[in-house]
Amino acid sequence: MRITELRVCDRPRERLYAQGIASLSDAELLAILLQSGTKGQNAITLASRLLADFGLEGLHQADIDELRKVPGIGMAKASQLIAVFELTRRAQKPDNPSIQDAADVFTYCKPIIGHLRQEHLLALFLDVRNKVLGHEMIAKGTLDSCLAHPREIFRPAIQKSAKSVIIAHNHPSGDPTPSEEDQQLTRAIAKAGELIGIPLLDHIIIGETWERA
């Protein structure tokens, strides 16, 4: 049954307007984002299938290729969902926070890389008061010295006139215990920072909790 064939009082958009957003189920909210269904299933049915396949938390963690494997989810719908989830993560992160310790790094970085299913290396660029001037994703995949070359970190640091740098990367397993490769990366970046005059303040591994590398 198409959404337009439902009673007006049962249509998600109309219910949102009449009864408030809290009255809608997860599937109905997701249906509003999807906007339409496909042949044989309306937006609510398609939304229910997504929730059955991924769960609400899993949807936030899914990448665009995983979403597109669901029948009825093409590039447009997958892009809409990914964009909304990313905006949600960004809204949870304060602008230009001050980084005082590793816990602050964890708070800043976890919404950005904590949910990702591959390792990603993030660089934070700080001013003289340790306020974040910005951040950049430096590399993804297995983080070795080739992928995470110091120039990829310090070029944007110089462009932003950063006084110091912090790097963080995620462990998709959730275990933040540093590996020998993680520690080698820390030493390589720290050495480059000393030569350039932009010190590396910390390297934090993001899992369920955090550890220093």
Q: How far apart are CA 64 and CA 79, in angstroms?
A: 7
Which of the residue ranges 52-56, 104-108, 115-119, 144-148 has the most confident prediction, judged by mean pLDDT? 104-108
Contact at 8 Å (CB) between 141 and 119? Answer: yes
Give me the domains of the chain, ranges plus CATH numbers: 3-91 (1.10.150.20), 102-212 (3.40.140.10)
Beta carbons of 112 and 135 less than 8 angstroms apart: yes
What distance in Å separates the CA atoms of residue 67 and residue 69, rounded to the nearest whole number? Answer: 5
- What does the pLDDT read at residue 62? 85
Of 26, 55, 23, 49, whose CA–CA distance to 37 is shortest?
49
Backbone CA torsion sign across 32, 34, 36, 40: negative
Q: Is the pLDDT of residue 26 over 50?
A: yes
Model pTM score: 0.64
Render pLDDT for 180-199 as a digit per residue (tens, 0 to 9): 999 999 999 999 999 999 99
Residue of 28, 63, 67 lying closest to 45 (CA atoms):
28
Residue with tokens 């979403």: 67
